[in-house]
Structure 1
């Protein structure tokens, strides 16, 4: 008589639960489970965006050892990270276009020497140049001439204010 080997018994009652089952391990993960489930799915999702975000989440969980945390701690950390990302996205959408326009006006001031509010013939000449090389040449020559004029007028404006007068006090 041949004796059959019996299956080993597992003393952990949670071993056969849904979190540890074979079906849970083979389950197809979705974008929502990658983003919002406290337990990271085992398998990579099929979608390109979901797979990218899954890789980022695996990187985040491995780097900061989030698998060692309780589910409520993991949810708290994910909420802080999502809030930070949302605030950065809102800032980029609302503030960045204004800041780019500001940087463009400052670059025009540094290159061409005119502020956006100034409407002089020099600004029209600088912006009506035919090529980028001509624009840079005009900006460089005007900037040098304006710098020399500003240095010359700086001394006279300081002397005109006088030392110790009420206009020179800050």
Structure 2
């Protein structure tokens, strides 16, 4: 969707959407354990195979790559006059607050299902299923937020 918006928008908004694309790529790579799912499974349980990025030869390059991508996104966001775009979304009351809150909530649930951030939901059943469902929900809410922003920016004119 970000690629479609980037292709259809005027140049200022094109840079804004180009700043979003690397974020989706990083999320997709993270969901694939940085490519670990293409390696042999480390173990298999009744819930399915377990994959990890620990066996990847390039694992030590992932964090530096994330730093570089973050810098790229920041540069593109500044080039796109992103703060002005965000101000427009806030002042016109078109920032998708509900989607943002739901993304955060879904990711907290995902973290709790994995036992991260000091969260532990105990034994509610299949924590792997809860984790994957909450991550899927987070991605759906992110996609919804992106669509709402795209619709809101149809009427945006850069200064």
TM-score above 0.5 = no
TM-score bracket for this pair, using the shorter chain length: under 0.3
Larger RCO (CA under 8 A, 6+ residues apart): 2
Richer in helix (by share) = 2
Q: TM-score, normalised by structure 1?
A: 0.23
Question: Bigger radius of gyration, 1 or 2?
Answer: 1
Q: TM-score, normalised by structure 2?
A: 0.24
